[in-house]
Amino acid sequence: MIEFYNVHTKIDNSVILNNITFRILKGEFVFLKGSSGAGKSTILRHIYMDLYPTQGMVIVENYSSAKISDKEIPFLRRKLGVIFQDFKLLSDRNVFDNVAFALRVTGAKSNEIKRKVMRVLTEVNLGQKRNMYPSELSGGEQQRVAIARAIINNPFIILADEPTGNLDTKTSVEIMEILEKINRQGTAVLMATHSQEILKKYKHRTLTIENGILEKE
Ligand SMILES: Nc1ncnc2c1ncn2[C@@H]1O[C@H](COP(=O)(O)OP(=O)(O)OP(=O)(O)O)[C@@H](O)[C@H]1O
Ligand SMILES: [Mg+2]
């Protein structure tokens, strides 16, 4: 479902990813660890095809970095759920509308939108807070809204770029438990982290990257 074949990526003549090859299978939970600047976010950007390899290839489901057209990018991204350390919510919309946004652009009908949004908000325990604005929520709640938004289109994988980076330990565990639950329901997760606490507590296959090089598993 996700495959990197000898991915070599240069930006302004410096090598950012050095000949990276790995696979993520259906329904897997995989951690991506490595120090700051190692290349974790860059790997995720290759998967949502915000960046292309200089050499080699990235395959995501039936899309290839070598062949995808600009027109196909939004369709690829609907199959992925992406969450970030800083949540990236729309500050001028309430919780419901932040989540509904991703569905409205697909042309869904309002009944269907209401039903699906309430289902994912219930999934992250935020049904009661649907009318609140991001600034009225705690960091953990904001990240749960971001997770609800990420799963609304039933992605096959969640790409999480240090989703607990701005959260305390207790809140990080809450977020991890939600990601674990979504994974048990069959959605794969690829999560960049440098939290030793999380890597110790949750046992999953771990890809380690340093200086753009993937260490042997
Ligand atoms: N747009 C860009 N232009 C130039 N260099 C870049 C660009 N994006 C990333 N880099 C470089 O690529 C390397 C990897 O960056 P990346 O953001 O993937 O690291 P990271 O592992 O996610 O780090 P962090 O843990 O701090 O988030 C860094 O040396 C960074 O400076
Ligand atoms: Mg990063």
Distance (Å, whole) CA 24 – CA 70: 24
Distance (Å, whole) CA 138 – CA 151: 20
Please give the number of the atom of ligand 1 that sits closest to the Cα of 34: 21
- What pLDDT is recorded for position 182? 98
Percent of the chain exceeding pLDDT 70 equals: 100
Cα dihedral 28, 29, 34, 36 sign: positive
Q: How far is the CA of 36 from the centre of ligand 2 (A)?
A: 7
Is the pLDDT confidence value at 21 over 90?
yes
Mean pLDDT of 65-70: 97
> With bands split at pLDDT 50, 70 and 90, how would you rate the model's confidence at 69?
very high
Percent of the chain exceeding pLDDT 90 equals: 95
Is the pLDDT confidence value at 203 over 90?
yes
> With bands split at pLDDT 50, 70 and 90, how would you rate the model's confidence at 217?
confident
Burial zone of 207 (CB within 10 Å; 0-12 exposed, 13-18 middle, 19+ buried): buried
Q: How far is the CA of 81 from the centre of ligand 1 (A)?
A: 21
- What pLDDT is recorded for position 39? 97
Distance (Å, whole) CA 171 – CA 134: 17
**pLDDT tens figures, 153-175:** 999 999 999 999 999 999 999 99
- What pLDDT is recorded for position 97? 97
- What pLDDT is recorded for position 106? 84
Mean residue pLDDT of the chain comes to 96
* Residue identifier of the C-alpha nearest atom 8 of ligand 1: 42
- What pLDDT is recorded for position 6? 98
Secondary-structure class of domain 1-79+155-217 per CATH: alpha beta
**pLDDT tens figures, 170-193:** 999 999 999 999 999 999 999 999
Extents of the domains making up the chain: 1-79+155-217, 90-154
- What pLDDT is recorded for position 153? 93
- What pLDDT is recorded for position 105? 84
**What's the pTM value of the predicted model, to 2 decimals?**
0.96
Q: How far is the CA of 35 from the centre of ligand 1 (A)?
A: 11
* Residue identifier of the C-alpha nearest atom 14 of ligand 1: 39
**pLDDT tens figures, 86-136:** 999 999 999 999 999 989 888 899 999 999 999 999 999 999 999 999 999
Pocket test for ligand 1, best of 4, 9, 16 (most atoms within 8 A of CB): 16
Sequential DSSP letters for 50-114: SS--SEEEEEETTEETTT--GGGHHHHHHTEEEEETT----TTS-HHHHHHHHHHTTT--HHHHH
* C-alpha dist (Å) from residue 147 to 50, 126, 138: 20, 11, 14
Calculate helix-pair angle for 139-151, 110-123, nearest 10 degrees. Answer: 130
Q: In what order do the strands lie in the sheet with 14-24?
A: 14-24, 2-11, 55-60, 63-64
Max Cα distance, the chain (Å): 51
- What pLDDT is recorded for position 216? 86
